Amino acid sequence: MGGMPGDPGTPTRDELLAAYALPDRGAPRLRMNFVSSADGAVVLQGRSGTLGGATDRLLMQVLRTLADVILVGAGTVRVEGYGGTAVSESDAAWRVARGLPPQPGLAVVSRALDLEPGHPFFAEAVVRPVVVTCADSPAGRREELAEVADVLVCGEETVDLTATRAAFADCGWTQTLCEGGPHLFGALLDAGLVDEVCLTLAPRFVGGAARRIVQGAAEADRRFALAGALSDDDGFVFLRYATR
């Protein structure tokens, strides 16, 4: 197959589906997906999409197709105008043929709940989204968002991400795809909840003041194994790190 580093060729959707397959859906798994420039920037001109490329966008669709639920931090929703996460008709058919619902679930983590009910995250959702929050969040905002989403309260002062994973598993969502951002990634690392990191390395050196893909986590030597590496004709590298 094309796409192994050093091989010519760009991986196809089917090759990506095979390379990122989730063989045991019974075991809870949290998979992160990030793109970074080769010099470690998490954004270019304030957005992550400007760093990516065609295969990166295809991989994002493939990872969504494989997931039970897409999880994202409120910061990313606010900055990226994040919405329209539905998978295509053919990806939905692929899911249904394997006994999955046509679309993955969609969830945002927030304490402040500074999210408008009319935001594309809610307005463009094709499944009812979940707002994961904590008991200390503003009650009025919870009520407002309950009009457009299911509100899940996990934890007191901050969202208890371990309890969130358990609540997801209770509703059949064992395979979580987290699409960032860096603070949610940091919190998930600190909680020991990250099983896999899918990292697209863009052949770009952007300088500037952009931050890294992990923010706010305590410094520690968290060792992951390299579980996969692909590349495409545009010079992008697709790394997959796993804890087991």
Ligand X SMILES: NC(=O)c1ccc[n+]([C@@H]2O[C@H](COP(=O)([O-])OP(=O)(O)OC[C@H]3O[C@@H](n4cnc5c(N)ncnc54)[C@H](OP(=O)(O)O)[C@@H]3O)[C@@H](O)[C@H]2O)c1
User: Between 82 and 173, whose beta carbon lies closer to ligand X?
Assistant: 82
CB of 70 vs ligand X, minimal distance in Å: 12
Q: Which among 56, 80, 41, 35 is positioned nearest to 206, based on CA atoms?
A: 41
Residue 109 binding ligand X, by CB under 6 A: yes
Q: Could you give the strand order of the β-sheet that contains 225-231, starting from the edge strand earlier in sequence? A: 150-153, 130-133, 105-109, 69-73, 175-178, 29-37, 196-202, 237-242, 225-231
Partner residues linked to 130 by β-bridges: 107, 150
Structure tokens belonging to residue 47:
């957005």
Do residues 31 and 178 make contact, with C-beta atoms less than 8 angstroms apart? Answer: yes
Do residues 55 and 238 make contact, with C-beta atoms less than 8 angstroms apart? Answer: yes
User: Between 19 and 197, whose beta carbon lies closer to ligand X?
Assistant: 197
CB of 198 vs ligand X, minimal distance in Å: 10
Please identify, among the stretches 9-17, 46-54, 95-103, 218-226, the one whose residues bind ligand X according to the rule CB under 6 A: 46-54
Between CA 9 and CA 25 the distance in angstroms is 30
Tell me 50's DSSP state: G
CB of 221 vs ligand X, minimal distance in Å: 22
Q: Are strands 225-231 and 69-73 parallel, antiparallel or unpaired?
A: unpaired
- Residues 110-149, mask of contacts with ligand X (x by CB under 6 A): xxx-x-------------------x---------------
Please identify, among the stretches 38-46, 99-107, 120-128, 226-234, the one whose residues bind ligand X according to the rule CB under 6 A: 38-46
Residue closest to ligand X (Cβ): 75
Residue 156 binding ligand X, by CB under 6 A: no
Q: Are strands 175-178 and 29-37 parallel, antiparallel or unpaired?
A: parallel
User: Between 79 and 151, whose beta carbon lies closer to ligand X?
Assistant: 79
User: Between 32 and 125, whose beta carbon lies closer to ligand X?
Assistant: 32
Do residues 111 and 214 make contact, with C-beta atoms less than 8 angstroms apart? Answer: no
Between CA 236 and CA 34 the distance in angstroms is 13
- Residues 62-101, mask of contacts with ligand X (x by CB under 6 A): -----------xxxx--xx---------------------
Please identify, among the stretches 1-9, 20-28, 34-42, 227-235, the one whose residues bind ligand X according to the rule CB under 6 A: 34-42
User: Between 174 and 200, whose beta carbon lies closer to ligand X?
Assistant: 200
Between CA 29 and CA 5 the distance in angstroms is 26
Residue of 5, 8, 47, 101 interacting with ligand X (CB under 6 A): 47
Which residues contact ligand X (rule: CB under 6 A)?
A: 34-35, 42-43, 46-48, 51, 73-76, 79-80, 109-112, 114, 134, 158-159, 161, 179-184, 187, 215
